[in-house]
Amino acid sequence: MKKNIIIKNAAQVVTCSGFAAKHGKEMSKLHVIENGTVIIEDGIIKAVGKSDDVLKNIDESKYNVIDATEKAVLPGFVDSHTHFVFGGYRAEEFGWRLRGDSYMDIMKRGGGIINSVEGTRNASKEELIKLGKKRLDSMLSFGVTTVEGKSGYGLDLDTEIKQLEVMEELDKMHPLDIVKTYLGAHAVPKEYKGREDEFIDEIIEKHLPEIVERNLAEFCDIFCEQNVFSIQQSRRLLSKAKEMGMKLKIHADEIVQLGGAELAAEVGCVSADHLLQASDKGIEDMAEKGVVSTILPCTAFSLKEEFARARYMIDKNCAVALATDLNPGSCFTESIPLVFALATLYMNMTIEEAITALTINGAAAVGRADQIGSIDVGKKGDIVILEFPSYHFIPYHIGVSTVEKVVKDGILVFDKE
């Protein structure tokens, strides 16, 4: 299939130009080109600029040509925190939450993450691939071209590996690029209740060596939370994973202010995620150490919790990313339009900051800002074309996708028309 494509005459080409995370005030700089054109050859961006300049001496017959007149063009979105490979659903828990039960109350009575473990352990690899593909198709329709996927619904080595192998298969067969994260320390298995340190020992001694040897995941993550894994346990696991060559993420300060943000800065996490209860010091430490602050507004919305302090983080010079946190329990949605709506209407982020958070900063949160997340020469040809002439329509058309076409690696892979 030809990977040479020209997207020309766009009302706006929103480049989000850069090769690293944007911090603080830099998040407002989108670098918009009016009447712009993008040329992609062999799946890589070869030129971007004003149409008259870029199209000089170009033989358009050698390319697939998309006329983007009256359309806005952006980098493909990067959903940098999801749990999209799972078996079984937890619809009844949503009803419990509506009745007033807290997330931690549901966990204590055997719900929550543990409830998804049984469904995922019992699901075959073929079933998980089928379910995962359906979810990836939906993400693609929202303009996502790269997604991070976590294991964590096995809590035993065989099922964790099964989840990661499913992602590996889907990465080969689906247009979306999948960044794999090992999250074996997502919850405490029933058989290890009260013996959490022993479970961390098992992960360090048995899980990590096999995952690293087989190159099944780029990142190691842990749910650092009261009544789950402590700061000390999280430090021990993340430090060992780093020693073994893995990049680090952490579920930090979601429900209780435990010090997860500070730990993320201390051990050198690429990103710290959730952060609803992150302290002022933790936020300042992340900004100083360059840890991407990945915030998940749909989860707070679903749990009826206060949102993370996005405005404070940006004002303190953090690099903020946005992601869906698609999962079967606390946040069963892959809706990028909902993320944009919540970020702009309820988290005091500007439209420009939200776009940066879902493009170049999302790319930085998965360690790929040098390859994706912006429309820059040399990067992958991952492009979203809106049905409207301005990026302002993304949150303005509240909760509805404005994505008309998606180009992945220089190939048109989604077309609403």
The residue assigned the tokens 């209860």 is: 277
At 320 the three-state DSSP class reads strand
273 is in an annotated binding site: no
DSSP 8-state code for residue 307: P
Consult the annotation and say whether 329 binds a ligand.
yes
Largest Cα span, the chain: 70
Report whether 23 belongs to an annotated binding site.
Answer: no
CA distance 297 to 349: 12
184 CB-contact burial (10 Å; exposed 0-12 / middle 13-18 / buried 19+)? buried
Asked if residue 207 belongs to a known ligand binding site, the reply is no
CA–CA distance, 115 with 34 (Å, rounded to integer): 50
Which residues are paired to 365 by β-bridges?
Answer: none
Q: Quickly count: other Cβ atoms within 10 Å of residue 333's Cβ.
A: 16
153 is in an annotated binding site: yes
Token pair 């766009």 is at which residue?
A: 10
Residues in contact with 56: Cβ distance below 8 Å, sequence separation at least 6, in sequence order: none
> From residue 182, how far is each of 202, 297, 332, 386 by CA, in Å?
14, 23, 20, 34
Cβ neighbourhood burial of 412 (10 Å; 0-12, 13-18, 19+): middle
Strand partners of residue 321: 294
Q: Rounded to whole angstroms, how far apart are CA atoms 188 and 205?
A: 17
What count of residues does the chain have?
417
- Joined together, the tokens standing for residue 28 give 């407002």
Which phi and psi (to 5°) does residue 28 adopt?
A: -85, -10
DSSP classification of residue 15: -
Phi-psi region of 290 (alpha: psi -120 to 50; beta: other; left: phi over 0): left
Residue 89 in marked binding region = no
Which residues 6+ apart lie within 8 Å of 101 measured at CB?
A: none
Structure-token pair, residue 406: 């998606």
Is 254 annotated as belonging to a binding site? yes
Residues marked as binding? 81, 83, 90, 153, 186, 251, 254, 325, 327, 329-330
Residues marked as binding for 4-imidazolone-5-propanoate? 90, 153, 186, 254, 330
Residues marked as binding for N-formimidoyl-L-glutamate? 153, 327, 329
Residues marked as binding for Zn(2+)? 81, 83, 251, 325
Residues marked as binding for Fe(3+)? 81, 83, 251, 325
